[in-house]
Chains A and B, each alone.
Chain A
Amino acid sequence: MSDLKWSYMDHWVTDSPRGPVGPLHARSYMDRYIQQLAGLGFAGFDTFVYRLPAIAEMYGSVALFQGFIRDCGMEKITGIFTAYPNATRFRAPQVRETHDQIVADCRMGVEMCAGLGVENFIVMPTTTYYDVEPVTAEKLKVTADLWNRVGEMTLAAGMKTTCHFEFWGAIRTTEELDTFLQLTDPRYVFYFCDTAQHTIAGVDPVALFEKYHDRCTGFHFKDTRDVDTTEQYRTPPDPELMAPDVERWFWEMGTGQGLVDFPALMRSILARDWSGWLTVELDKADVGGGNYAESACVAKWYIDHVLDQIKADT
């Protein structure tokens, strides 16, 4: 029997007297943000590894922050996310010489969350596609080696390193996904299903979950209105933020014209007795005049009125 709970991935912008700001702008903003998420009913909170130092500065430590979110009615930090969108001379997963630095970065994140029960260490396993191409078996092997190392380290601390595949990353097609997941050690490297990212890349997230459900440790429930049919994924300078044909790739679930079949995915999750955290993600919800608060509410409405209904009917 599936035991499912909902967490929220830390993307937010709010208006301030100095224009749009993120919640880490100041303590009062962060407090309000957490209260709003808790008010909607999210029990878990996912954030970025690079934000942990700022959170610690603001609350005294990541542990004290977790105490705060518990006081607000949430349960815990459920996942932390790291990525290297662009290759630099210091860090690039496909470059073995940078692996020590990346492992050190990841260890820092794990240590900052020690003892807090964080479950997922979510990674974007490669940089942007155009920094990597051509995507060769050798590069996939080097990348897999990195995340095997990281995964063994994080598992020792109770966190599962789990790979999240952006449509604009270098591991995106079904073939590339299969190859990479075969190269990684299933004891240490897991699969994280972002519904919109796969859909944009022309991959069916439900089918992928069906194939890798036993390695799947979580989801980003996120929608899209576009499949990338014009190779935007490999377009410099930034295929996600500056795609020539698409200003906004991601939408909240429940959006009109969305392409992700969330009911089918939910039925599959239930059929497989999969248990764990389901994460709502709303990155770039403010593009084109949208706003995060409204999108979060629309997504939660969809959970309450559509997905929970499927659970109840199963």
Chain B
Amino acid sequence: MSALRWSYMDHWRADTPRGPMTQYGSRRLMDDFVKQISAVGFEGLDMFDFQIYGLTQMFGSIEKYQEYLQDHGITKIVNLFRGIMYDPRVADPHVRETHDEIVESTRRMLGMWEGLQVENLIVMPASLYADTAPVTKDKIKAAAECWNRVGEASAEFGVRTTGHHEFFCAIRTEEDILSFYEWTDPRYVSFFCDTAQHCIAGVDPVALYLKLHDRCSGFHFKDTREVDTTQAFASRPDAELMAPQTARWFYEMGTKGGLVDFPRLMHALKEHEFTGWITVEHDKANIGGDYAESTALSMWYAKHVLREIYP
């Protein structure tokens, strides 16, 4: 029995007679999507928490949706990614006055998912760097306080709150990330390692995992071909989608020219006996590519390279 199981973070586009559409566009598109990811060996699915609205419409309830997934070879919805628009006036982790809203809105959202056994609630622990700078110790502490409260609330639902640090997030450097975890309560806040995001930010994801392995509750296994050398992380209007440096930051793991050392990371997981789910992600794979192909290639890599290291 393998220590690791593979989940897919549900970024997808399919070409249709009306151009590219997500799997949420129609039941048929959803059927196609689920069959394809099951075909290449995924057993779990991750998604944004707000997808519950569309899925409830499509299937009647989120529980029915999970049953549908199980009928197609997907065991469960593993992790949710918290979808909050950070705005310092309403909801922003470094603004203490907005913490109540963040906690309560999250509690309401998790209540909607209560019937399932979701494992992680993945959060971006701070707002955009461009909106937060300068990133001070106090701002990081405020964010830590926020997520301690959220984590305590999510624990009531059996869900771990876990921090995912985008390269354009205010908490992005190794120093700031380590401070954040020092100031959060390990009972309530875990670390979620997105390999590409850290790499782009100039942080070695393997080294970071080794430092935070006892806090780590999951991964986005994702690759990149570039480190941010142009301060893209601070650029407006959008550091990810409109960076002058590159049109595409993310690639499927194992991509030619990829910078993430997945074999080394896998050795580290084995060394620290990490067990559980690994999430494969390759958002924006349709920029000069396509999701289906990238998804198949990522599982090829998981089977032929990574499983050889840590079965």
- The answer to A–B direct touch (Cβ < 8 A) is yes
Which residues in A have some Cβ–Cβ distance to B below 8 Å?
Answer: 15, 288-289
In the complex, 5 of the A-B residue pairs with CB atoms within 8 angstroms, ordered by the A residue number, are A15-B15, A288-B288, A289-B287, A289-B288, A289-B289
Tell me the dominant secondary structure on chain A's binding face: helix
Chain A contacts for B288, CB-based, 8 A:
288-289
- Residues of B close to A288: CB separation below 8 A: 288
Contacts of A15 in B (CB 8 A): 15
Within 8 A of A (CB), among B247-284: none
Taken residue by residue from 287 to 309, chain B's Cβ proximity to chain A (1 for < 8 Å, 0 otherwise) reads as 11100000000000000000000
CB distance from B288 to the nearest CB of A (A): 3
Contacts of B15 in A (CB 8 A): 15
Residues of B within 8 A of A289 (CB): 287-289
Interface membership of chain B positions 89-130, coded 1 if the CB is closer than 8 angstroms to chain A and 0 otherwise: 000000000000000000000000000000000000000000
Name the residue on B nearest A290 (C-beta).
Answer: B288
User: Residues of A contacting B287 with CB < 8 Å?
Assistant: 289
Chain B contact surface mostly: loop
Give Cα A122 to B289, complex, Å: 35
A46 to B198, CA, bound (A): 50
CA distance A289 to B15 in the complex (A): 14
CB distance from B291 to the nearest CB of A (A): 13
Q: How far is the CA of A17 from the CA of B53 in the complex (A)?
A: 32
Count chain B residues whose beta carbon lies closer than 8 angstroms to a beta carbon of A.
4
Shortest CB-to-CB span from B226 to chain A, Å, is 16
Least distance between A298 CB and chain B CB atoms (Å): 16
State the CA gap A15–B288 with chains docked (Å). Answer: 15
**Nearest-Cβ distance from residue A32 to partner chain B, whole angstroms:** 16
Closest to A15 in B: B15
Minimum CB–CB distance for B19 against chain A, Å: 10
A287 (CB) vs chain B CBs: closest residue: B288
Q: Which residue of A lies closest to B17 (CB)?
A: A17
CB distance from B245 to the nearest CB of A (A): 14
For chain B, residues 5 to 20, give those with C-beta under 8 angstroms from any C-beta of chain A: 15
Nearest A residue to B19, CB-CB? A15
Chain A residue nearest to B290 in the complex (CB): A289
- What's the least CB distance linking B17 to chain A, in Å? 8
Docked complex Cα distance between A289 and B287 (Å):
7
Min Cβ gap A16→B in Å is 11
Report Cα–Cα, A15/B15, bound state, in Å: 10
Closest CB of chain A to B295's CB: distance in Å?
Answer: 17
A2 to B15, CA, bound (A): 46
Complex Cα gap A288–B248 (Å): 12
What's the Cα separation between A260 and B289 when bound, in Å? 28
- Bound: A289/B248 CA distance, A: 12
Q: Which of B229-254 contact A (CB under 8 A)?
A: none
Chain A, residue nearest B286 (CB)? A289
- Tell me the complex Cα distance, A288–B290, Å: 11
Q: What residue in chain B is nearest A288 (Cβ atoms)?
A: B288
| Cα of A288 to Cα of B289 in the assembled complex, Å | 8
Alpha-carbon distance between A204 and B287 when the two chains are bound, in angstroms = 34
CA distance A234 to B247 in the complex (A): 31
Q: How near does chain B come to A84, taking the closest CB pair, in angstroms?
A: 32
A15–B16 alpha-carbon span in the complex (Å): 11
Q: Measured between alpha carbons, how far is A15 from B17 in the docked complex, in Å?
A: 10
Minimum C-beta distance from B64 to chain A (A): 33
Interface residues of B in 207-242 (CB under 8 A from A): none
Shortest beta-carbon distance from A48 to chain B in Å: 27
Cβ-closest 3 pairs across A and B = A289-B288, A288-B288, A289-B287
Q: Which residue of A lies closest to B289 (CB)?
A: A289
Nearest-CB distance from A262 to chain B (Å)? 24
Query: Please, how many angstroms separate the alpha-carbon atoms of A106 and B162 in the complex?
Result: 70
Query: Complex Cα distance A288/B287, Å?
Result: 9
CA distance A169 to B102 in the complex (A): 65
CA distance A15 to B289 in the complex (A): 15
User: A289 CA to B288 CA in the complex, in Å?
Assistant: 4
Task: Give the docked Cα–Cα distance between A289 and B289 (Å).
Answer: 7
Closest to B15 in A: A15
Task: Find the B residue at minimum CB distance from A17.
Answer: B17
| Bound form: Cα–Cα A15–B19 in Å | 10
Give Cα A223–Cα B65 distance, bound, in whole angstroms: 51
Measured CA separation A288–B247 after assembly (Å)? 12
Closest B residue to A19 using CB positions: B15
Closest-CB distance, A21 to chain B (whole angstroms)? 14
Bound Cα distance A15, B287 (Å): 17
- Measured CB to CB, the nearest residue on chain A to B248 is A289
Taken together as a complex, chains A and B put the C-alpha atoms of A237 and B103 apart, in Å, by 61
Q: In the complex, what's the smallest C-beta–C-beta distance from A36 to chain B, in angstroms?
A: 18
Complex CA gap A40/B150 in Å reads: 57
Point out the residues of chain A lying under 8 angstroms from B289, CB to CB. Answer: 289
CA–CA, A281 to B287, complex, Å? 24
CB distance from A251 to the nearest CB of B (A): 15
Report the separation of the CA atoms of residues A97 and B127 in the bound assembly, to the nearest whole angstrom: 73
**How many angstroms between the C-alpha atoms of A80 and B287 in the bound complex?**
35
CA distance A14 to B15 in the complex (A): 13
Q: Within the complex, what minimum Cβ distance (angstroms) separates B290 from chain A?
A: 9
